[in-house]
Chain A
Amino acid sequence: MTLTLENISKVVGSEVHIHPADLSLAPGTMNVLLGPTLAGKTSLMRLMAGLDAPATGRILWQGQDVTGMRVQDRAVAMVYQQFINYPSMSVYDNIASPLRLQGKGKGEIDRAVRETAEMMKLAPMLDRKPLELSGGQQQRCALARALVKGAGLVLLDEPLANLDYKLREELRLEIPRIFEESGAIFVYATTEPEEALLLGGNTATLWEGRITQFGPTAEVYRQPADATTARVFSDPPMNFLSATKTGDRIVFGDGEEVAAMGALGRLADGAYQMGFRPNHLEIERHGEEVMGFDTTLSVTEITGSETFVHLDHNGARWVGLIHGVRELEIGAELRVWLDPAHVYVFGTDGALVAPASYAQAA
């Protein structure tokens, strides 16, 4: 069961919602669509489901063209951010409803409902009404309804966004297991990079209606193909600075100059955009081969175990994530350090020139 999108696009009026895209999802894979609101995640899912017709291109399911086929006639299930259950029906009847619509026999329905309820930890609550359940259980019920049909394609559109933080953590941990048991292709839309990492599988990053990269999740994270992907797949946002390499020196946009150390020394002369993740910024110097920058501290945020420092670096805002709790004075001058092994180098057009060398080794 493979889902293939060929040159799929979506246009509404004069607005392009999805630029022509090719994507192939392998059988039994978890696929994350990662991007901010309005990046096109829901539009893409609706196209995959057959809820919307594409402006161009074809959708193939197991090699068969299903482009014009109604969603009812396809083996697709979708779960939305807002849990949708029938409030007047019991949990049992909610889970059974898609099978009843398919005209399945009583025995078969009963078996499937109980099996799915077991998997979703709803077995003790089958007689209750959805509104008597907690938010997390309501969403489990909606998930159970999506899974019970044994659909080959399960689309989850930010399914945990309306849940409490801790419930989200709990369900997120279970979703990979549920997915593995179902054997279906899962497509999971999220705005949160950390969620994508926790889910694993493959990730497609989306930005302004374009798929910027698709590959194994950890690989997209560590080796983003361009600056846009790196930005989408970084929370807090990746920090950027413009730089020019000449000989064995690198001059940053503001005139700061350092020796071209480590992998940066192997770059061809020219202009670049350099990016690094907040957790790689250091406020103490570790080692000789590090680059130093003068910044001003504008805000600190303490999480209990870590400190986020928001810094002004010549008009640009940087974020650093520092281990431990640091009491730093707002407005203070702060010299920060960066290991060249943690620097991603992009061309001025945004295309990746060299991934951070630590990520290549990983």
Chain B
Amino acid sequence: MAKITLDNLAHSYLPAPAGEEDWALKELNHVWGDGEAYALLGASGCGKSTLLNIISGLLHPSQGRILFGDEDVTDQPTAARNIAQVFQFPVVYDTMTVRENLAFPLKNRGAEAGYIATRVQAIAQMIGMEDTLDRKARGLTADAKQKISLGRGMVREDVNALLFDEPLTVIDPHMKWELRTQLKALHHEFGHTMIYVTHDQTEALTFADKVVVMHDGRVVQVGTPEELFERPAHTFVGYFIGSPGMNLLDAEVAGKVAHVAGHEVPLGGTYDAPGGRVQIGVRPEFVSLGDAGLPVTVTRIEDVGRHRIARLDFEGTALNAVLPEDAAVPGDNLRARLAPEAVSVYSDDWRVTPQSRSEEAA
């Protein structure tokens, strides 16, 4: 196990990058704590795979260094970095049995037979494949093959880090639960440093202690799931995390009040008049319907089972609210109240810290 330091790291796929947009990964300094579980979350093309490939050694960065512990590994090939990787699609040897597949990384490193047998058994139990250990991998479902890939990724206990690149894409929802829970339990038990790349917010948030959100080649926020949910540092985090994402409304902000299209919205903190494009953001979970607040009409109510999503129209702008499962479908002359303590203020997409706010001062 080791902490991983990214020092002044940046990457461009072009030989002579000029403008900012030429950098797939913009300059980044970050320390991945020893034994922590991270998720690297972002949309396709945000740079998360570039970053993962630099950490694993598949890609040499254009700039900067990468350290495992105190050792500079920037120039080391993947094989020398002592890491385990699991990819989006299964990588298994079809002609080998499940047991041989799982044992492969240990055999390769000359582990002793008794240890291999015990370890393979433990991993097989974890991925629920004890009964198929002696079957050839050929002919197994994609699901089963990916479980073998996951198992093989975790079979070695002495790796510096475990890197997962969208490992559950091909797995059924029900199985996703099981595997994610097992990964989590495994992390709790062994304390590997884990980096899990995904575009799926549920996977990222539930798996990780800390989520690193990337957008457009840049890390826009590193935080606990709670921080990302309650105080998105960038409008992208507000949009990308949460389903539906955060509501954003153009506003003028002064003191403890925002003015939105001529309506007043009370805020939970006090602000100097921020510059640039000013918006207020509030998650649908903190929008309630009643007789006070912004005038809205209901466009559509979606029944998602455990709650309802109200799609609202506020003077031409779409606004979403999450209502309880048993909520009555609201009637006419409806108003949407934004819980003041849950409203964030953004200036040119970045969150503005209020001058005073009870919860943040605490």
Residues in chain A within 8 A of chain B (CB atoms):
36-38, 134-135, 164-167, 169, 191-194, 197-198, 200, 218, 221, 235-237, 277, 279, 298-299, 301-305, 308, 310, 319, 321, 325, 330, 358, 362
B21 at interface by CB-CB < 8 Å: no
Partner of B205, one of A169, A194, A303: A303
For B295-329 the 0/1 string (1 means CB < 8 A from A) is 00000001111100000000000000000011000
B238-269: CB near A (< 8 Å → 1, else 0) gives 01111111000000000000000000000000
Q: Is B201 an interface residue (CB 8 A)?
A: yes
Tell which of A164, A237, A305 touches B285, judged by Cβ atoms closer than 8 Å.
A305
What are 15 A-to-B residue pairs whose CB atoms are below 8 Å? A37-B142, A135-B44, A164-B44, A166-B239, A191-B172, A235-B173, A235-B177, A237-B174, A298-B181, A302-B224, A302-B225, A303-B205, A303-B206, A304-B225, A330-B188
B205 contact set on A, CB distance < 8 A: 301-304
Binary CB contact string for chain B from 106 to 142 against chain A (1 if under 8 A, 0 otherwise) = 0000000000000000000000000000000000011
Question: Nearest-CB distance from A113 to chain B (Å)?
Answer: 27
The 8 closest A-B pairs by CB, nearest first: A304-B229, A301-B206, A279-B306, A304-B225, A164-B199, A302-B225, A303-B205, A325-B226
Q: Bound complex: CA of A305 vs CA of B181, how far in Å?
A: 19
Q: Are B173 and A192 touching (Cβ within 8 A)?
A: yes
Residue of A nearest to B240 (CB): A166
Residues of B within 8 A of A330 (CB): 188
B196 within 8 A of A: no
Known: A166-B239, A191-B173. A304 touches B305 (CB 8 A): no
Would you call A299 and B185 a contact (CB within 8 A)?
yes
B177 touches A305 (CB 8 A): no
| CB closest chain-A residue, reference B309 | A198
Are A301 and B180 in contact (CB-based, < 8 A)?
Answer: yes
Q: Mark B255-289, 1 if CB is under 8 A from A, else 0.
A: 00000000000000000000000000001010000
CA distance A218 to B301 in the complex (A): 13
Interface size on B, residues (CB 8 A): 43
Q: Determine whether the beta carbon of A197 is less than 8 Å from that of B304.
A: yes
Report the separation of the CA atoms of residues A362 and B241 in the bound assembly, to the nearest whole angstrom: 30
**Closest CB-CB distance, B103 to chain A, in whole Å?**
27
Is B206 within 8 A of A302, CB to CB?
yes
CA distance A37 to B140 in the complex (A): 13
Contacting pair A36 B174 (CB below 8 A): yes
CA distance A325 to B185 in the complex (A): 19
Task: Give bound CA distance, A166 to B236, whole Å.
Answer: 11
**In the complex, which residue of chain B has the Cβ closest to the Cβ of A38?**
B141
List B contacts of A235 (CB < 8 A).
Answer: 173-174, 177
Structural contact, B173 and A310, CB atoms closer than 8 A: no
Contact B177 A303 (CB under 8 A): no
In the complex where A298-B185, A299-B184, A362-B326 touch, is A321 in contact with B199 (Cβ < 8 A)? no
| Cα A194 to Cα B225 with chains together (Å) | 21
Query: Is B7 engaged at the interface, CB distance under 8 Å to the other chain?
Result: no
Partner of B306, one of A135, A164, A277, A304: A277
Report how far A303 CA is from B207 CA in the complex, Å: 9
Knowing A165-B201, A330-B188, the reply to whether A358 touches B326 (Cβ < 8 A) is yes
Is A304 a contact of B302 with CB atoms below 8 Å? no
Cα distance A109–B43 in the bound complex, in angstroms: 35
C-alpha gap A325/B205 in the complex (Å) = 12
CB distance from B191 to the nearest CB of A (A): 13
Q: Are B199 and A304 in contact (CB under 8 A)?
A: no
Which residue in chain B gives the minimum CB-CB distance to A217?
B303
Q: What residues on B are CB-neighbors of A221 within 8 Å? A: 305
Residues of chain B whose beta carbon lies under 8 Å from any beta carbon of chain A = 43-44, 141-143, 172-174, 177, 180-181, 184-185, 188, 199-202, 205-207, 224-226, 228-230, 239-245, 283, 285, 302-306, 325-326
Instruction: Check A304–B228 contact: CB distance below 8 A.
Output: yes
Smallest CB gap from B188: residue in A: A330
Known: A194-B304, A277-B306, A358-B326. Is A304-B174 also a contact (CB below 8 A)?
no
Question: CB < 8 Å: which of A164, A298, A362 contacts B43?
Answer: A164
Query: How far, in whole Å, are A319 and B178 apart by their CA atoms in the complex?
Result: 11
Q: Which partner residue on chain A sits nearest B245 by CB separation? A: A166
User: Would you call B181 and A303 a contact (CB within 8 A)?
Assistant: no
A305 touches B229 (CB 8 A): yes
CA A303 – CA B203 in complex, angstroms?
Answer: 9
A277–B173 alpha-carbon span in the complex (Å): 16
* Interface contact A299-B188, CB-CB below 8 Å: yes
Known: A166-B239, A302-B225. A319 touches B177 (CB 8 A): yes
Q: What 20 additional pairs, Cβ within 8 angstroms, besides A37-B172, A166-B245, A299-B184?
A: A36-B172, A38-B141, A164-B43, A164-B44, A165-B200, A165-B201, A191-B173, A193-B305, A194-B305, A197-B305, A198-B302, A235-B173, A237-B177, A279-B325, A299-B188, A302-B225, A304-B205, A304-B228, A305-B285, A358-B326
Q: Is the CB of A301 within 8 A of B184?
A: yes
In the assembled complex, how far is the CB of residue A252 from the closest CB belonging to chain B, in whole angstroms? 23
Bound Cα distance from A305 to B342, whole angstroms: 12
| Nearest CB on A from B13, distance (A) | 17
Closest residue to B206 on the A side, CB-wise? Answer: A301
User: What residues of B have a CB within 8 angstroms of the CB of A298 in the complex?
Assistant: 181, 185
Bound-state Cα–Cα, A19 to B44, Å: 40
Beta-carbon contact of A304 and B226 below 8 Å: yes
CA distance A193 to B201 in the complex (A): 17
Nearest Cβ distance between residue A353 and chain B, in whole angstroms?
22
Give complex CA distance A146, B271 in Å: 52
A358 to chain B: which residues have CB within 8 Å? 326
Contact B243 A169 (CB under 8 A): yes
* Least CB separation from A279: chain B residue: B306
> Is the CB–CB distance between B304 and A198 below 8 Å?
yes
Interface centre among B180, B206, B224, B228 (most CB of A within 10 A): B206
B44 touches which of A134, A237, A310 (Cβ 8 Å):
A134
B312 to A: closest C-beta gap in Å = 14
Chain A residues near B141: list those with CB within 8 A.
37-38
